[in-house]
Amino acid sequence: MSSCIIKKNILIEGKTKKVYNTDNPFEVIIHHTDNITALDGLKKSFIQDKGVLNNEITTLIFQFLNSCNIKTHFIRKINNREQLCHKVDMIPLEFVVRNIVSGSMSQRLGIKEGINLYDPIFEIFYKNDKLKDPLINDYHAVFLKIVSHEELNTIYNITSQINIFIKKYFFDKNIILVDFKIEFGKNYKNEIVLSDEISPDTCRFWDKRTMKKLDKDLFRRGFKEKEEVFDIYIEILKRLNVS
């Protein structure tokens, strides 16, 4: 099947992924590299074959979300490191959902990590490297002409559904979904669709029994050697593959 797709010029090179045009103007190839970054790119490294794991993990999650009727950019995995996706115009916002207090929320508000948020908290970060991706609110996003209030409403609705679906999906695999970041794009019909990736790079996962961290925080906070971070990503993939 993959032999029919012709990979063309590179369209965007991000910190951990590359996007290529294809011979179909409505489809792109997303390539997962082994780069790992944190703290707005300040901390950079390379973990051999992490891209292979993230490609597989994000594939499983997007396939699951597609099966839940969430509109996503994902079409299919085409090889170890690459997926075929619908081409979208990315909205330069990161939507963070928090189910448990951790990370920047804990630091910013001086609240202990681990407190359960019975009502999930939604945050928006403006994707702008120069400004170091600041936290903004709806009014800023509308003022910046990135989205309308109506579009934000749609995004919050989809985001809330995604949280409900994947929280349960992970919980059934003995993983607590502490928080995560997602991004959206607009397809050629101007519909808002979930894009980018969902992986241990973009989520906080804690083990249901031990509350041990199972994600990029181990790298971000320098808790583990690279090899151990790789092993944790393998552990996540193993759990997702158990139905």
- Residues of this chain that interact with ligand TMP (CB under 6 A) are 94, 96, 102-105, 125, 133, 179-181, 202-204
Dihedral pair phi/psi, residue 8, rounded to 5°: -115, -145
From residue 105 to residue 134, what is the string marking binding to ligand ASP with x (rule CB under 6 A)? ----------------------------x-
From residue 214 to residue 243, what is the string marking binding to ligand ASP with x (rule CB under 6 A)? --x---x-----------------------
Minimum Å distance from CB 200 to ligand ASP?
10
Minimum Å distance from CB 38 to ligand ASP?
4
Burial class (CB in 10 A: 0-12, 13-18, 19+), 17: buried
d(CA 101, CA 67): 29
Nearer to ligand TMP by Cβ, of 48 and 104: the residue is 104
171 contacts: CB under 8 Å, gap ≥ 6 = 177, 208
Which residue number is nearest to ligand TMP in terms of Cβ?
103
Lookup: tokens for 162: 């995604």
Nearer to ligand TMP by Cβ, of 82 and 183: the residue is 183
**Residue 203 binds which one of ligand TMP, ligand ASP, none, with CB within 5 to 8 A depending on kind?**
ligand TMP
**Residue 125 binds which one of ligand TMP, ligand ASP, none, with CB within 5 to 8 A depending on kind?**
ligand TMP
d(CA 34, CA 233): 12
CA quadruple 144, 92, 229, 74: dihedral sign: positive
**Residue 39 binds which one of ligand ASP, ligand TMP, none, with CB within 5 to 8 A depending on kind?**
ligand ASP
Minimum Å distance from CB 205 to ligand TMP?
9
Is 29:7 a contact under the CB 8 Å cutoff? yes
In which element (H, E) is residue 162 found? Answer: helix 149-171
CA quadruple 154, 156, 161, 165: dihedral sign: positive
Minimum Å distance from CB 233 to ligand ASP?
14
Asked if residue 37 binds ligand ASP (CB under 6 A), the reply is yes
d(CA 132, CA 40): 6
Binding stretches for ligand ASP (CB under 6 A): 15, 37-41, 133, 216, 220
